Amino acid sequence: MDEPKRMTYREAGVDIDAGNRAVALIKEHLARTRRPEVLADIGGFGGLFSLDISRYRQPVLVSGTDGVGTKLRIAMLMDKHDTIGIDAVAMCVNDVLVLGAEPLFFLDYLAVGKLKPERVAEIVKGIAAGCEQAGCALIGGETAEMPGFYGEEEYDVAGFAVGVVDRDKIIDGSRIKPGDRLIGLASSGLHSNGFSLARRVLLEAAGLSVDDFVPRLGKTLGEEMLTPTRIYVKPVLELLSRFDIKGMAHITGGGMVENIPRILPEGTEAVLEVSAWPVPEIFKFIQEKGNIEESEMWRTFNMGIGMVLVVPPGQVQEILQYLADRKETAYLIGEIREGNPQVRFI
């Protein structure tokens, strides 16, 4: 009787040697994000981070997790993987930031159909770039090769961020009152939300390709759609140290309609003046190609504003000037009035 063929993990689709090579390739990217509080290099069973509690009276850890969503499909179609990691970081650290927290460290989860070390290194390069923008350390992660679950060219990315804020400096919107103003920080475009609708409209219904040059956008469709999400950490942390920021909303899935009410106290509403900022062309392009109703656009996309700050009326001009001096694009977009927690457009 013939002896059964000896099987290996590699024949089953998981290449441990490729995984080790990927780790070697990404070490240089992780090194760029290192903070003094990081105690160990990559490769251990956990990341070590020593919190300097002398800087805080009552330190509170703030955590957030998110993914990139179907924007990943655009990266795969373009075979460009060095920026998608910025989106993974942005979606997490911007959420942590709205509570007034400084992001400290980040971990990633990368699942692939076939582990290609150079591609993994490109993805992690983007994650490291996002961490550099946010000032947080990339202290660990997981790369899982999952043959038979993802196609050979497919992958998914998720991230996890931890930040810290003093208990008495937590920003939860509870101090917001009628008369306060809303300042919007410009987005870089679609960010990482609404891509299921954007892809359905542009790549399926309109029959466009990521390689098509769109004159009104000034670039190819793929270049526009793959533009990384803005990371607002550094300018906003500067504002928090100088001004009275009463509330913040990261404008992600659900747009302003869903995200701003999350921070509004009972008895207040946000009234936005839609002519106060220019809506980027990509949103107009999607709306036209998909014949999408205005209300659907506002509750799906950020429409050009990625972060909203609620501030006292007396500090508006000083904050806007402070941001302008630092080359940050910001607009006075509305005010808080008496009402039920909702967003109303005028």
pLDDT at 338 (0 to 100):
93
Distances (CA, A) of 6 to 18, 269, 279: 21, 68, 61
Task: Name the DSSP letter for residue 97.
Answer: H
pLDDT at 252 (0 to 100):
93
pLDDT in tens, the chain (346 residues): 566 666 555 665 655 666 566 666 666 766 777 877 788 766 667 778 788 888 889 999 999 999 999 999 999 999 999 999 999 999 999 999 999 999 999 999 999 998 888 898 899 999 999 999 999 999 988 888 888 898 988 999 999 999 999 999 999 999 999 999 999 999 999 999 999 999 999 999 999 999 999 999 999 999 999 999 999 999 999 999 999 999 999 999 889 999 999 999 999 999 999 999 999 999 999 999 999 999 999 999 999 999 999 999 999 999 999 999 989 999 999 999 999 898 899 8
Distance (Å, whole) CA 166 – CA 121? 36
Q: Which SS3 state, helix, strand or coil, does residue 110 take?
A: strand
DSSP β-ladder status, 181-186 and 213-214: unpaired
Q: Is the dihedral of CA 259, 262, 265, 267 positive or negative?
A: positive
311: left (phi over 0), alpha (psi -120 to 50) or beta: beta
Decide if 325 contacts 298 (C-beta within 8 A).
no
Q: Where in the chain is the domain with CATH 3.90.650.10?
A: 181-345
At 257, list the tokens.
């309609």
Q: What does the pLDDT look like over 46-74, one tens digit per residue?
A: 778 788 888 889 999 999 999 999 999 99
Sheet holding 247-250, edge to edge: 247-250, 305-311, 181-186, 330-338, 268-272, 343-345
Q: Which of 169, 202, 168 is closest to 282 using CA atoms?
A: 202
pLDDT at 10 (0 to 100):
64
The third-level CATH classification (topology) of the domain covering 181-345 is Phosphoribosyl-aminoimidazole Synthetase; Chain A, domain 2 (3.90.650)
Q: Where in the chain is the domain with CATH 3.30.1330.10?
A: 16-169
Q: Which of 222, 202, 219, 201 is closest to 211 using CA atoms?
A: 222
List CB contacts of 304: < 8 A, sequence separation 6 or more: 184, 186, 187, 277, 278, 279, 280, 283
Distance (Å, whole) CA 150 – CA 143? 13
Name the CATH code of domain 16-169 (choices 2.60.260.20, 3.30.1330.10, 3.40.50.970, 3.90.76.10): 3.30.1330.10
What does the buried/exposed string (b/e) look like for 32-45 if buried means 16 or more CB atoms within 10 Å of the residue's CB? ebeeeebeeeeeee
Q: Using a cut of 0.75, tell me whether the model's pTM lies above it.
A: yes
Sheet holding 59-67, edge to edge: 59-67, 155-166, 102-112, 137-145
Task: Name the DSSP letter for residue 294.
Answer: H
DSSP 15-80: -HHHHHHHHHHHHHHHHTT--TTB---TTSSS--B---GGG-SSEEEEEEEEE-TTHHHHHHHHT-
pLDDT at 233 (0 to 100):
97
pLDDT at 182 (0 to 100):
97
Q: Is the dihedral of CA 249, 81, 67, 117 positive or negative?
A: negative
